[in-house]
A = this chain, B = another copy of it.
Amino acid sequence: MKKTLTLLAFLGLLLNGFSQNPDSVFIKTIFDIALTSRVAYHNLEILTNIAPGRLVGSEESIVALKFFEKYFNELGADTVYLQEFKTPAWACDSSSVSILIKKSREIHLTCDALGTSLSTPPSGIVAEVIEVQGLEDLEKMGTEKIAGKIVFFNRPMKDTFVNTFAAYGDAVDQRAHGPAEAAKYGAAGAIVRSMTTSLDDFPHTGSSRFKDAKIPALAISTLAANQLSQELKENPKTKIRIFVKSRDLPEITTYNLVAEIRGKVRPDEAIIVGGHIDSWFNSPGAHDDGAGCVMSCDVLRIFKELNIQNNRTIRAVLFMDEEMFQAGGNAYADFVGQSGKRPYLALEVDEGAFTPEGFSVDASVSIVQKLHSFKPLLEPYGIKYIIKGGGGVDIYPLKKSGVPLVAYVTDPQRYFDMHHSGNDTFDKINYRELNLGTGCVTTLIYLIDKYGIE
């Protein structure tokens, strides 16, 4: 206790220093509301219960849209509407991977199809496996070794990266481009080690980009990958059976959800806060990105509750289809482009509900400096940096119209334990970490609205 109290005295000094400042006093009020409420937490519990696996085109995605539409209406937002657009989509009905031991025996491996995998015949595809450590191995091996086989991409995400996003960036080409590359050499199918540093039995799916030839492609869990790799060491001629039943949906109609509190002085200058409403078919999507949606809702709730006289419009946008084709982000950018009303700034919340770390800003140097000048006000709440960096996938299409982009950044250690898997469940959410994030995002938007970014 002693040690803690001395340390807290130090942190307290930090806080007191700023509490002379009227902004600090008001920001404390924002955090008091953010930290003592369970509204966002409870919304996330409901969302993950009523609409797990809410991939674009699914019934669940519409359930999720309606849930948030009702929430915004009950909150008394000035404007709530669904912004319609059309997009291709894809759905997975079932999948399996098994090692053939004898004619009568197969060992099942935990798996999920990658989006947008081709279907196999109903009896699956049986073939030998060729294990590789990356795309560069394919060229060395060539068509002779690869054709007719199932390519197994097994380079792990590295534990040695301190930031797990770097480890993901280092390994994800295998999932994103591996199957398409394998198809070029005539592979019958592809399986990919799950993109996680965790050793467990959850398959982590994600999008795989095909250009010309499509093949069946699946993710297997890291434990399954280790098991298969061991089996191949003992018997390089091991065959496996892969099965995927999926459907291409050439054109569906879907929506982004938009809700606003109108600006009192400059209503045409909208500050956007948003996340994406869709999640992979295998995942409740609690951290990715149910959290971003309920936090965006909560920003509007706090503005309403504190009766903040916002100069600019505060606009929540819940984007559809971040995961597969980024159709919602593109459709929204087209929509505002046509309206001729360029948003003032857009902030994306899509790194999970973990302890806040900072904000990264994709804008001119002067705007980055202006936002950075707000950092002392956010430091008592855990914000370590506001720096030049990227925005986010959903808001990226707004960049071409010159909209400054901001991403909320969190502690990355646990994110890929859950990402794109059935492990991304509500019980992995800590309500304090969620609420601290909402406080940080609300505060930054409050300061942007009050002081502008010029």
Contacts and interface: CB of A to CB of B under 8 A. Distances in A.
B389 A414 contact: no
Scoring A2, A360, A380, A396 by chain B CB atoms within 10 A of each residue's CB, the highest score goes to A2
A141 interface: no
Nearest to A435: B159
Given A4-B390, A7-B389, A432 B382 contact: no
A168 B417 CA distance: 30
B162 A381 contact: yes
A3 B390 contact: yes
Contacts of A162: 31, 35, 380-382, 436
B430 A413 contact: yes
B380 A3 contact: no
Contact of A3 (B3, B384, B389, B417): B389
Q: Copies per complex?
A: 2
A166 B430 contact: no
A360 B7 contact: yes
A381 B160 CA distance: 11
Contact of A169 (B8, B31, B197): B8
A11 interface: yes
B390 A414 contact: no
Nearest to A166: B8
A158 to B, nearest CB: 8
A87 to B, nearest CB: 20
A165 interface: yes
A165 B197 CA distance: 31
A131 interface: no
Contacts of A163: 8, 11
A246 B361 CA distance: 59
A396 B1 CA distance: 11
A389 B430 contact: no
Contact of A413 (B6, B355, B380, B417): B355
A411 interface: yes
A159 B433 CA distance: 11
B3 A407 contact: yes
A407 B8 CA distance: 13
A162 B437 CA distance: 11
Contacts of A169: 1, 4-5, 8
A175 to B, nearest CB: 12
A409 interface: yes
Contact of A6 (B381, B390, B436): B390
A436 B161 CA distance: 11
A362 interface: yes
Interface in A384-416: 384, 387-393, 396, 405, 407, 409, 411, 413-414
A2 B396 contact: yes
A32 interface: yes
Given A162-B436, A413-B355, A390 B2 contact: yes
A123 interface: no
A207 B430 CA distance: 26
A164 interface: yes
Contacts of A451: none
A7 B390 contact: yes
Contacts of A6: 360, 362, 388-390
Given A31-B160, A197-B432, A413-B433, 6 more contacts: A3-B390, A8-B169, A10-B389, A162-B436, A411-B411, A414-B433
5 contacts: A8-B163, A35-B159, A38-B199, A159-B435, A413-B430
4 tightest A-B contacts by CB? A3-B390, A7-B389, A4-B165, A2-B390
